[in-house]
Amino acid sequence: MRPGPRNLVTDVAGLRVGQAGDALVKTGVTVLLGEAPFVAGVHVMGGAPGTRETDLLAPDRLVQEVDALVLSGGSAFGLDAAAGVTEGLRAMGRGFEVAGQRVPIVPGAILFDLANGGDKDWDEAPYRALGRAALAAASEEIELGSAGAGLGATTADLKGGLGSASLVLDSGITVGALVAVNALGSAVMGGGPEFWAAPFEIGAEFGGRGVGRHDPSAEPRPEAALGQSTTIAIVATDAALTQAQATRMAVAAHDGMARALVPSHTPFDGDLVFAAATGAKPLPGDGFEALRLGHAAAICLARAIARGVYLARPAPGDPRPCWQDRFGA
């Protein structure tokens, strides 16, 4: 396996990503958009999720495809971001046709970034407008680090951020990951600078510092208050998957989250992974490609998490330092 040409989730042909943020509020929105509706699944392992339209992603539901997926800051307020995306898609003529009307299908998930030093004293929450702006900005290029849904994100000891990575399998199928890292746990070993995801790093995509040392007997002592964390992600492929197969890919991708964040999937995180499949390429017939897809999704997600933290940038009032400020050359 090798990274795609951009090492981004948009190496999956037919997918674009749009982002919008508010630096004063320290929050933002990230949208994954398909050129056409795509199959999607979801799996939640955190104990405190915040979601919209995830029930319809079960394999036995009527609607089998979605128009976009939304990751947003803002806790419950951020669920409005998907409404802005829905309105924008309807204006574009997109959506599931019902009784002569177009109803865009836009599942979403949110993270908590209300205690990150930004100005949250709003009269009207900004997320609906940010969602529509992110949709309008969709392209194949993605700003990583302090951008989109990762703009105000934090981890246990460092600033979080938005990350992405990709892999092309020997079969020619592409897998990518997109993640907003806002974890109760840490992305670095023993205080850093080495990342937990280091065994899966390709080249020096997040610093090339190698594997560090840690104390396996140390108990987690979170600095964040309970209920103020969540890592939300999307893994995507150009393979033709059913909704059940996409869901299994999302399940497997959680291994990557556990490899890159310690601890992860806690009762106080809303850790969640969406899966998206454009269906452009058939699965090979050896019966093992679903296994390979899950493995690649987990590796991509681990790398994307580290990249999001590695590329975060400082801003006034940040409650955590950036990796670059603490460890960068």
Dump pLDDT digits (tens) for 110-154: 999 998 989 999 999 999 999 999 999 999 999 999 999 999 999
Give the integer Cα–Cα distance in Å for 4 and 15.
14
Q: In the prediction, which pLDDT does 189 show?
A: 94
Q: In the prediction, which pLDDT does 260 show?
A: 97
Q: In the prediction, which pLDDT does 224 show?
A: 60
pLDDT band, residue 80 (cuts 50/70/90) = very high
Q: In the prediction, which pLDDT does 223 show?
A: 67
Q: In the prediction, which pLDDT does 226 show?
A: 57
Q: Give the alpha-carbon dihedral of 165, 18, 97, 127, to 10 degrees.
A: 120
Task: Answer positive or negative: Cα dihedral of 202, 203, 205, 210.
Answer: positive
pLDDT tens column, 204-254: 999 999 998 887 878 777 666 555 789 999 999 999 999 999 999 999 999
pLDDT tens column, 146-189: 999 999 999 999 999 999 999 999 999 999 999 999 999 999 99
**Average pLDDT of 91-103?**
89
Please write down the long-range contacts of 84-89, taking CB distance under 8 Å and 24 or more positions apart: 84/29, 84/127, 84/128, 84/129, 84/130, 84/131, 84/132, 84/133, 84/134, 84/135, 85/31, 85/131, 85/132, 85/134, 85/135, 87/128, 87/132, 88/131, 88/132, 88/135, 88/136, 89/135
Angle between helices 243-260 and 289-310 (to 10 degrees): 40
pLDDT tens column, 252-310: 999 999 999 999 898 888 899 999 999 999 988 777 888 999 999 999 999 999 999 99
pLDDT tens column, 17-60: 999 999 999 999 999 999 999 999 999 998 888 999 999 998 88
Q: In the prediction, which pLDDT does 181 show?
A: 97
Q: In the prediction, which pLDDT does 166 show?
A: 98
Q: In the prediction, which pLDDT does 87 show?
A: 96
Q: Copy the structure tokens of residue 133.
A: 């702006």
User: Burial level of 90, CB count in 10 A (0-12/13-18/19+)?
Assistant: middle
